[in-house]
Amino acid sequence: MLMRYSILLTYILTVSLHLQGQKKYTYDDGPYITFLEDKMEILWLEQGNLHLDTISMGLGDYFQTDRMPNIEYDKLTIRPYTQFEFDSVSKFTAISDIHGQYELFVKLLQTHGIIDEALNWSYGDGHLIIVGDVLDRGPQVIEALWLIYHLEGQALASGGRVHMLLGNHELMVINNNLGYLNKKYLYTSGISQRLYSQFFSQNTFFGKWLSSKPITVSINDNLFVHGGFSPRIQKLNLNMAELNGIFQNRLLYEQRANIEADSVLNMLYFENGPLWYRGYAFPSAFDKDRAKSILNTFNKKRIIVGHTSMPEIKSLYGNRIILVDSSIKFGKEGEMLQYEDGHFLKAHSDGTKKELVSQEDKIHKQSIFSTIYNDPEPTLRLATDIKTVYKTGEEKYTESLLYYFHEGFPYSFNVGIRSSGNMRRQICTLPPLKLNFKKKELKAFGYAKGDKFKILMPCKPTHNNAQNLYMEHLIYEIYSIIDSFGFQSKIANVIIEDEKKDPKDYLSLILEHKDHLVERLDVIRVEKGVIRPAALDREDYIKFCLFQFMIANPDWGLVNRHNLVPIKKKNKTLVSLIPYDFDYCGLIRTEYAVPHASLPISDVSQRYFMDKNITMEEVKPVLKELLKSKDQVLDHCRSVAYLDEKHKDKALKFMEKSYQMLENEKRVRKYLGLKEN
């Protein structure tokens, strides 16, 4: 233990001195109070300068400065926490994972009437619950702690209560795990030549105050705890008083070796313990029945937890679990959970309030694909054994993790991944990937049921192959101009993280799955039977064929449904076709694209009209409508930012040539090879 202490102190002093050598820091920090028999030591930083004062107990002195919280020493009170259950509370507010973001914390409290402009309690007999993790990460931890302390006394005097619950980061700092300190507190440690955990030791004010705090309380039928109660903790059959007592008396300030040697302490302290457990936030490993079982153990209706960051407060499993860590730690926005007049509300930092609705009960749900599609610059990170994925092919999915960064917030999903694409899987270094999400996980987090999509990466890791992929994206966009019934695609940054290799970034194409397409378009997918020309809506089919001619794509077939999706639209009785997979078309002309031996062309760049049974008279009205989109299509080809000038020019000239071939009736007959009637 002494060696570990020495190593940590040396590290912090080195880091702090390095910081000082680079820049003159002007941090304000403190005050920190240490009790020394009949004296108190007061330590603080003002404008980066260390101040240290020692006063005798009971002299009625106080700490006062415009830059830090003011403290009346004689009124410092550590109130023992003996009541853990509160009934008939008419209103309460819960907030978690403040992580030193004091200004956002204050803004939320003031905006929603918990405190006034002078930072005094204005919530009457209401209860405020801090669901753990005030410490670490942010730059104003001490300001937040002193505010909470002052509000405790003011709330009690008004008939209300403030409940400061311990989180895993309080436990970490108290027990010397200092890996998440803000650089401000590294500086404090360095300039004071003290390990930061010393400011929270058993003979300090913060140490005594925090060690008096519970890990769990209940208000009405709601159980509050930072992480959650896992099924393993449930089996210990400990009540709230026993759990709080173990943390206060046996886990805080205990040496790690002693914790690991005791099976109960070990279970409570680490990942299955109530301060670390994240199972509620991962529906693939949790469900409504488990939630019911845990709630029955404690005889409560719901559990309210923090710990796992979300973009907003979320209610899961039919309002049995509420996750209130709304990512305040980023210091930008956040929410509090409020209970008033029998309703749960989400109170946002902009002053708005919305009724809390369980994710499963939301009416207007957006799919995970649509979320990514509407993101201006999506980034996905896949943690997987990519070699196994490629080796296994289409035989089975490989269990993986998808991390999606959206508006500065990291989501995580359990997904299955397999490779797909008949030819691309054989030819490409990076064949397409099909992702399969867990329906239960999507449902629990309020997403629609569309649970699959594809990721197309450049066939090979070269610039030209990347441009070919973007050309395919361009084709999907061109089709969306010509016909609203088409697949959606999105260029995204995809990072492949394989533990055996360094992470690699690929600008990739996210492609909508067939199931998602039919749900989004509100059409019926024709899944069985042979598709014959007589079963097709003639107008839609001719437009389909003309489009394939324009991009010089001979790689589709009716009989085997190759690279097309047959659908029935609501306003039509016959079948329409939606095209996809364009890597064999002449507009792109990939290095592996060759026309089928049965076709009378030698190169895919040669446009060939695939159905010679279509007549000129049938084509005329369809072609007239198709040509109306010419200017929009060509303008789009000119304006795309994702293609380099060479490929942009190639696309533009190719499409201009296509329109030239279709604008004149004589040329149409010549190039399409159509019959008159």
In contact, 242 and 248? CB cutoff 8 Å: no
Instruction: Indicate the SS3 state at residue 10.
Output: helix
* pLDDT, position 447: 81
* pLDDT, position 18: 47
pLDDT tops 90 at residue 318: no
Residue 314 lies in a domain: no
pLDDT tens digits for 330-381?
999 999 999 999 999 999 999 999 999 887 666 567 899 999 999 999 999 9
Residue 286 lies in a domain: no
Residue 496 lies in a domain: yes
Domain that holds residue 652: 523-672
What is the number of other CB atoms lying within 10 angstroms of the CB of residue 258?
A: 12
* pLDDT, position 262: 93
Q: State the pLDDT confidence band at 499, using cuts at 50, 70 and 90.
A: confident
Q: State the pLDDT confidence band at 310, using cuts at 50, 70 and 90.
A: confident
In contact, 161 and 127? CB cutoff 8 Å: yes
Residue 510's DSSP bridge partners are 455, 490
Residue 560 lies in a domain: yes
CA distance 530 to 659: 33
Of the given ranges (53-67, 94-108, 155-169, 545-559), which has the lowest mean pLDDT?
A: 53-67
pLDDT tops 80 at residue 675: no
Q: Which of 516, 536, 565 is the last residue of a domain?
A: 516
Whether residues 511 and 564 share a domain: the answer is no
Residue 605's DSSP bridge partners are none
Burial label for 584, CB within 10 Å (0-12, 13-18, 19+), is buried
Q: Which of 490, 516, 542 is the last residue of a domain?
A: 516
pLDDT tops 50 at residue 3: no
pLDDT tens digits for 440-476?
778 766 788 788 999 999 999 999 999 999 999 999 9
Whether residues 560 and 585 share a domain: the answer is yes
Both tokens of 306, joined, read 């923090």
Whether residues 466 and 407 share a domain: the answer is yes
CA distance 169 to 180: 8
In contact, 202 and 132? CB cutoff 8 Å: no
CA distance 412 to 395: 25
CATH number of the structural domain spanning residue 630: 1.10.1070
In contact, 627 and 666? CB cutoff 8 Å: no
Residue 53 lies in a domain: no
Both tokens of 143, joined, read 């300001």
* pLDDT, position 500: 74
Q: State the pLDDT confidence band at 11, using cuts at 50, 70 and 90.
A: very low
Whether residues 625 and 561 share a domain: the answer is yes
Whether residues 485 and 553 share a domain: the answer is no
Whether residues 530 and 664 share a domain: the answer is yes
Average pLDDT over residues 99-105: 98
**Single-letter amino acid code for the residue at 371:** T
Provide the CB-side half-sphere exposure for 180 (13 A, CA). Answer: 18
Whether residues 620 and 639 share a domain: the answer is yes
* pLDDT, position 454: 96
Instruction: State the DSSP code for 241.
Output: H
Both tokens of 105, joined, read 């914390």
Domain count, the chain: 2
pTM above 0.85, yes or no: no
Residue 470 lies in a domain: yes
Alpha-carbon separation of residue 73 from 40, 70, 192, 214 (angstroms): 9, 10, 22, 24
Both tokens of 539, joined, read 């107008």
pLDDT tops 90 at residue 222: yes
Task: State the average pLDDT for the chain.
Answer: 90
Alpha-carbon separation of residue 7 from 202, 264, 648 (angstroms): 21, 30, 58
**In terms of pLDDT, which residue wins out, 22 or 545?**
545
Q: How far is CA 527 from the centre of its chain?
A: 34
* pLDDT, position 25: 86
pLDDT tens digits for 578-631?
999 999 999 999 989 999 899 999 999 999 999 999 999 999 999 999 999 999
* pLDDT, position 587: 97
Alpha-carbon separation of residue 57 from 76, 150, 204, 305, 667 (angstroms): 11, 20, 14, 39, 101
Whether residues 409 and 487 share a domain: the answer is yes
Q: Token pair 């649970």 is at which residue?
A: 451
Whether residues 507 and 558 share a domain: the answer is no
Residue 40 lies in a domain: no
In contact, 643 and 470? CB cutoff 8 Å: yes
Of the given ranges (406-410, 530-534, 557-561, 619-623), which has the lowest mean pLDDT?
A: 406-410
pLDDT tens digits for 108-117?
999 999 999 9
Taking CA 32 as the corner, what is the angle to CA 26 and CA 34, rounded to the nearest 5 degrees?
145
pLDDT tops 90 at residue 182: yes
Q: How far is CA 39 from the centre of its chain?
A: 49
Instruction: Indicate the SS3 state at residue 312.
Output: coil
Residue 222's DSSP bridge partners are 219, 302
Whether residues 554 and 427 share a domain: the answer is no
pLDDT tops 50 at residue 258: yes
Residue 646 lies in a domain: yes
Whether residues 532 and 463 share a domain: the answer is no
Instruction: State the DSSP code for 358.
Output: B
Q: State the pLDDT confidence band at 159, using cuts at 50, 70 and 90.
A: very high
Whether residues 652 and 570 share a domain: the answer is yes
Alpha-carbon separation of residue 154 from 60, 100, 115, 160, 272 (angstroms): 20, 22, 10, 8, 36
Beta strands in 398-502 (DSSP E): 398-406, 409-419, 433-437, 452-456, 489-497
* pLDDT, position 472: 97
Q: Which of 485, 516, 547 is the last residue of a domain?
A: 516
